[in-house]
Structure 1
Amino acid sequence: MEEEFEFGFTEDPKFSVERYEEMIRNHDQYFFDAQAFENIIDYYIEKNDPPKALQVAEYARNQHPFAAVFLIKQAQLLVITNKINDAFDALEKAAMLEASDPDIYLIRGNMYESMERYGEALENYEKALELAEETDEVLLHIAYVYQNMGDYETSITYLKLCLKQNMENQDALYELAFCYDVLDNQQESVTFYQQYIDNEPYSYAAWYNLGNAFTKLSLFEKAIDAYDYAILIKDSFASAYFNKGNALVNLEKYAEAIEVYRQTFEYEQPNADTYCAIGECYEKLEQMDDARAFYKKSVKMDPKLADAWFGIGVTLDFEERYFEALHFYKKALDLDIANADYWFAIADAEYKLGHMPEAEHAYEKVVELNPIDVDAWLDYSSILYEQHRLVDAIEVISQAIKNNPDAAELYYRMVAYLFAKGEYNEALSHLEMALSADPEKHYILFDYLPQLQENKVIVDIINRYTK
């Protein structure tokens, strides 16, 4: 006859685990109380060993057939091992034993949510909400469901309720920022976080999200102040240093930004994005060797980071090494084929190398991808004009005007081309349009065709608008 030993919850959890493993080894039958079994199951969950945890839950159910907790644990583990139908069955049995346990409805809600059956998910979460003592996690789950349904306004309502229950729920703070972001409602975001900080001045997450909201409103000085508070409260907060660096870049304080980016390395492993950001700051400071060194570190760490390959190209372009620059621009383009900036840089480098057909093709791509880039239209038409292809140049500028009807520069350029072609009446009518749009920019015309400064008709028209 097998001997039965009983182990109680007074035992150290580790001791319970050892006794349980001894029982399995010896093919024996020990009795554990419910708490001891819970400890053993949690131990295997922490060890990331769901099959073993499931085996313990089965033992526990045999010894404690009326304890719903083991059916609930079993359901959680069955979800992890992707046995969804079995998990539903386990929860059904648990509900028969103890219908008032909120975990039953929380887990069931989770399962429905992952199946995108949002109505049933909400029903279960609402039930959990009635039964749970601490409701912030349930409210957070409800907020997630509304996000998945695309109803960000309702999600915000539940996230605020969640934070009312638990001011320190970091996930709710970040999700709230996300919802405001999707709704493009940064002003309300700022107001919320400021009020939140009045109650909870030491919440680094709230200061950080306030900084992000200020950044999106282009209030970079205020953003930096907010990031500084976040860093003051949590000095190892690498993301706050990184975003502060970005804000400094927007204020063109590149040397300061480099220092702040470097501080992230004290708290997390250097990563490709930060190396790339530092490279860009050195590039702006025209310290091209340093810039190139950081861009190279960046691509070594992440060969798929297109911006870093592009950055290497920019540093070479600056040194008039156009052929080499082109190689790196093309590497960037391979990773991000629809990037208008990359095409623009390629067009410019091809032009400087005298490769006119390639430059023309690249400019065509730029204006196709970004038809509101006025500079690209001007440069594109310019290379056609240089090849004495006046009709083509005029056609490109007329396309440009269709896409950018308020850009005075385009009208002035059109005037120059029409004069060059001898279409004086048409040119004068465009000159009137250009002067109506922006009389101050009339110098563009003379930059392009200096001889027009001698033309009395043109000078008189310009004087009429500028005096």
Structure 2
Amino acid sequence: MPILLFGSRHLDLITDKKTTTIRKLWKKPLTQGDRLHCYWNLVSKEREKLFEAEVTEVDVIQFSDLIKNDDLAREEGFKDASELETEFRKMYPDTTDESLFQVIRFHKLPMDEWEGAKINEKAMVTKRADILFDIGKFDKSVMCYAAALKIDPDDVYLLNRKGDNLSRLGKFHEALECYDQALQIEPDNEYVWNNKAIALLNSNRPEDALKASNRAMDINDENVLVLYWRGFIFEMLGRFNDALQCYDKLLNLNPHDLDAWNAKGNLLSQIDRAEEALECYDRSLELCLEDESDASTWNRKGNALMELNRFEEAVECYQKALSLEHDNEIFLSNKGVALMELDRFEDAAECFRKVLILNPDNEDAQILMDECLENL
């Protein structure tokens, strides 16, 4: 029973586009008609069955010829034959120009023709899609969700997730088609309505986004995720008081929501209510002061203090942000500006010098450093 293990590079297996693989010649070579049992070979050493297949053709080729064949390399998932050569020499360290490889072509078999254990193919593909989505490989995960939808076209979870993928890829029109299809099946799904609102907002259609958000609110006006994005929609429409009401209602429901405290603080800063903004940032920092992700909150608090001309305190905030993200050029620049306000031009110039080391094309940092040097 020949077993083939595939890595995550071979996502085309899920979409049925990949029907070829290249392996070093085995002691007992494959022949036409052989049955293959194909698995994912996960890093955790767990193996997950993909499918069974029947070998339709086997060609044997010398390595010296294989590494000249770009077409075969692309079928195996590589950019070209040069990339294949590099990877195969790592996989097969004893390979010489005369080493023989088998080019195996196969046909995926329907599950009712399998010899071994059957699988839940939809669950397997969805799991792979979810993993890829969670690590930010949206171009690959959308392929997997599309493959799972071929198995079950009316699965609202899959339609919603595919829409989320497409939104993250900037394909908002296609994302909206997914959400609309999902809402035809579940018209009272508040999460899909909210995701549709986000896609419309990102498509620069805030009025339509608000209509979608209204539908979500009609279903559940205490959904904190809906309230969070509804606040952003109101901000885009310039309806700042309505946005603040959303954030206040959200924080009444969940006083520990860091994103909501930050969103409210950002809005208050935007409408020149810096003292109130500081209170929001302080609340956010109190909730998870040791979390590295709060470097941006320290930076925003510094910005609010700058607006109040409290430059010493602003420098302290920027320094705390930099203690969490040492090479953040934005934080360094902000600290430099605050130091300039304190006439500490030498220290400020050092900040801008570090920015230029990180990004030599930062023209603002160059101008500000020159100004500092003129005042030394």
Counterpart Cα distance in 1 of 2:241 and 2:348: 39
Cα contact 1:381–1:393 (8 A) shared by 2: yes
> Which residue does 1:325 correspond to in 2?
243
Q: Is the 8 A contact 1:196 1:206 kept in 2?
A: no
* Alpha carbons 2:349, 2:372 under 8 Å: kept: no
Alpha-carbon separation, structure 2, partners of 1:427 and 1:392: 15
TM-score scaled by structure 2? 0.63
The answer to whether 1:364 aligns with 2:285 is no
Distance 1:399 1:277, change over 3 A: same
1:303 — aligned with what? 221
Residue in structure 1 matched with residue 48 of structure 2 by the alignment: 192
Q: Distance in 2 between matches of 1:438 and 1:310?
A: 34
Q: Which residue of 2 aligns with 1:247?
A: 165
Structure with the larger helix share: 1
- Which of 362, 382, 385 is the equivalent residue of 2:303? 382
* Matched residue SS, 1:242: helix
Q: After TM superposition, list the pairs within 5 Å mapping 1:55-454 onto structure 2.
A: 192=48, 194=50, 203-368=121-286, 369=288, 371-441=292-362, 443-444=364-365, 446=367, 453-454=370-371
Give the RMSD, CA atoms, in angstroms. Answer: 3.2
Following the alignment from structure 2 to structure 1, what is the Cα–Cα distance between the partners of residues 139 and 226?
A: 27
Shift of 1:284: 0.9
Q: What residue identity is the alignment partner of 2:293?
A: I
* Higher-RCO chain (CA-CA 8 Å, sequence separation at least 6): 2
Structure 1: which amino acid aligns with 2:337? A
Count of paired positions:
272
**Separation in 2, partners of 1:335, 1:322:** 20
Residues 134-185 of structure 1: CA distance to partner in whole angstroms, max 9, x if unpaired? xxxxxxxxxxxxxxxxxxxxxxxxxxxxxxxxxxxxxxxxxxxxxx9xxxx9
Q: 2:375 & 2:240 partners in 1: Cα distance?
A: 40
- Post-superposition offset of 1:441: 3.6
TM-score (norm 1): 0.52
Give the direction of change, closer, same or farther, for the CA distance of 1:445–1:386 in structure 2 (3 Å limit).
Answer: farther
CA contact (8 A) 1:408 1:437 kept: yes
Distance 1:412 1:385, change over 3 A: same
Displacement of 1:299 in angstroms is: 2.1
Q: Which amino acid aligns with 1:208?
A: T
Q: Distance in 2 between matches of 1:275 and 1:382?
A: 35
Shift of 1:186: 7.3
Read off the aligned partner of 1:340 and give its amino acid letter.
L
Contact 2:207/2:237 (8 A) holds in 1: no
AA of the residue aligned to 1:378: N
Gaps of 5+ in 1: 1-179, 460-467
How far did 1:287 drift? Answer: 1.1
**Aligned residues: percent identity?**
19
Amino acid at match of 1:314: F
* Separation in structure 2 between the aligned mates of residue 311 and residue 436 of structure 1, nearest angstrom: 38
Which ranges in structure 2 are unaligned for 5 or more consecutive residues? Answer: 1-39, 54-107, 112-119
Query: Which of the pair has more CA radius of gyration?
Result: 1
**Range that drifts further, 236-245 or 430-439:** 430-439
How far does residue 363 in structure 1 lie from its aligned partner after superposition?
1.9
- Structure 2 counterpart of 1:252, which letter? G
Structure holding more strand per residue? 2
Amino acid at match of 2:330: E
